[in-house]
Amino acid sequence: MAPYAPRGVHGRTVETLARRVLHGQLPEGATLDLPALRRELGISLTVLRESLKVLAAKGMVDARQKRGTFVRPRADWNLLDADVLRWQCTAGPGAPAALLRDLAEVRAVVGPAVARLAAERRTDADLTALETALTEMAGTAGTAGTAGTTGTAAGPARSAGAGAAFHRALLAATRNELLERMGPVVVPGPVGAPHPADPVPGHRAVLDAVRAGDRDAAERAMRALLGAR
């Protein structure tokens, strides 16, 4: 599922309800009092229903006749969804640390295998996409540490965007549709994970190995890159 764009009243309502579920303010199994929520949030029934549809699509809530709308068990939530990952970062004091640990473990397992497959299956178009992302990364890496003095986060944001583009291109190069769907957990995202001071050399090593079609070298380069985080 594509990430949800939190805009307007509808977007704010989705964000509010999602974070309440993740904070435990709306615990698993709880039935939602829709009239009370409408009054509290000052929204129409249509906005509330459309917002709940977003959460239902992510496995967080459901509705049944005679029971109403309720919070589903955490085991049913789509924890790999990009929005659910993002919402978890504000879900309580221990959530970000636990989430970062889980993401790091998944990336350590999947990332090297992705690099290995990419080295075997990449096309010229894939190499172009990887090179373009790396060029963008190189152009922004020098500005990433200056945001504090310039008063803007544009440098770090662009660098992070270039890194995400690189890893998405790497996933595409595997020619494995299921691996591509793992982008939200494999691709570095806005969850606060640390990045090396200069990300270019590590990513360049991965690209060079992928271009050479050297599966073992690509796997080693990815392990080294992940170890630098």
> For residue range 176-200, what is the model confidence (pLDDT) as tens digits?
999 999 998 888 754 445 555 688 9
Residue of 99 and 180 predicted with greater confidence: 180
Q: Cβ-count burial of 184 within 10 angstroms (0-12 exposed, 13-18 middle, 19+ buried)?
A: buried
**pLDDT score of 124:** 97
Sketch the domain layout of the chain as residue ranges.
8-85, 94-227
In this predicted structure, the answer to whether residue 146 has a pLDDT above a threshold of 50 is no
In this predicted structure, the answer to whether residue 144 has a pLDDT above a threshold of 50 is no
Residue of 206 and 1 predicted with greater confidence: 206
Q: Tens digits of per-residue pLDDT, 202-227?
A: 999 999 999 999 999 999 999 999 98
Q: Cβ-count burial of 65 within 10 angstroms (0-12 exposed, 13-18 middle, 19+ buried)?
A: exposed
Q: Give the CATH fold of the 8-85 domain.
A: Arc Repressor Mutant, subunit A (1.10.10)
Task: Of 82, 56, 65, 79, give the one whose Cα is nearest residue 48.
Answer: 56
Average of per-residue pLDDT across 58-86? 94
Q: pLDDT band at residue 145, thresholds of 50, 70 and 90?
A: very low
Q: What is the pTM of this model?
A: 0.77
In this predicted structure, the answer to whether residue 80 has a pLDDT above a threshold of 60 is yes
Average of per-residue pLDDT across 55-75? 96
Q: Which two tokens stand for residue 25?
A: 């303010």
In this predicted structure, the answer to whether residue 131 has a pLDDT above a threshold of 70 is yes
- The C-alpha atoms of residue 82 and residue 55 are separated, in whole angstroms, by 13
**pLDDT score of 188:** 73
Q: pLDDT band at residue 3, thresholds of 50, 70 and 90?
A: low
* 86-100, 150-164, 212-226: segment of lowest average pLDDT: 150-164
Q: pLDDT band at residue 149, thresholds of 50, 70 and 90?
A: very low
For residues 131 and 208, the answer to whether their CB atoms sit within 8 Å is: no
What type of residue sits at position 61?
A: V
**pLDDT score of 1:** 54
- The C-alpha atoms of residue 73 and residue 48 are separated, in whole angstroms, by 21
**pLDDT score of 136:** 93
For residues 126 and 173, the answer to whether their CB atoms sit within 8 Å is: yes
Q: pLDDT band at residue 229, thresholds of 50, 70 and 90?
A: low
Average of per-residue pLDDT across 149-154? 42
For residues 169 and 153, the answer to whether their CB atoms sit within 8 Å is: no
- The C-alpha atoms of residue 44 and residue 167 are separated, in whole angstroms, by 41
CATH of 94-227, one of 1.20.120.530, 1.10.3720.10, 3.40.50.1580, 3.40.50.1820: 1.20.120.530
Average of per-residue pLDDT across 38-48? 96
Encode 70-103: b = buried (16+ Cβ within 10 Å), e = exposed: ebbeeeebebebbbbbbbbbebeeeebeebbeeb
